Structure 1
């Protein structure tokens, strides 16, 4: 099958029966392989949902020159960089300066601009710097993965239906 976009590969991940565990427990046990999503995790799914939800609400508008900003260098950051880049948004991810150079390079390969925070300022230095940037630059939009209702909604409305 040929796809037009990497985004078309998000979701629809397989479910596998864990045969040995099922036999040992005497019940059927299944696992949903969200690692089959582009970027290697379920976070690609939530990243795309958060972006599309922000577009539906008029918070993000393609072609307006907006930048998605998030204090994340993990799988959500990868998902946002990938989906945001494909959809035409700039993506800036704030990570602590002691963050792995290999992971930083991966974020950049997915199209993100990586901003380093001073890790000596504490465990949330990247979150605090992201808020500071957001206050100074009105064209930046933070999707706030921890508080964004589209994050769990992606699983209620898509992942759950696939199971």
Structure 2
């Protein structure tokens, strides 16, 4: 009896933990999207300048800044290059999260941006209105409730049926 309930409790715990995976992937995707939008917003002014003077080629703008004699422009070239690289990395990350559920799960597990994954984990709140503490209490109460009810049913069965019913011992066991 207890073994059956323990199996049910373990199954329930696995189920409750398992329903968190899609929530985590969703939160990770939202963070990637937010970072991508922020990177694109930061790059927008430079993209507009590149569109006006370099036919939209941000790399040409970066080269122009690097070839300048002004150290401020040379430093800005590195900053723009970093912004462009970050935007491209986040765009690739976003595209990787647009596939089927199993690809998204595998990507988050194996190839996700470690900083964003850690940020997501640190800011993650349990979905479906569950938390580890609530799960623990829920499992404890479910086990206790099941044990009490099962014991009550077995006691009633023994009281009304079991005492009067004597099972015959199989001949092979005598």
TM-score range, shorter chain: under 0.3
Q: Which has the higher helix share?
A: 2
Q: Which has the higher contact order (CA 8 A, sep 6+)?
A: 2
- For the pair shown, which has the larger CA radius of gyration, 1 or 2? 2
TM-score (norm 1): 0.26
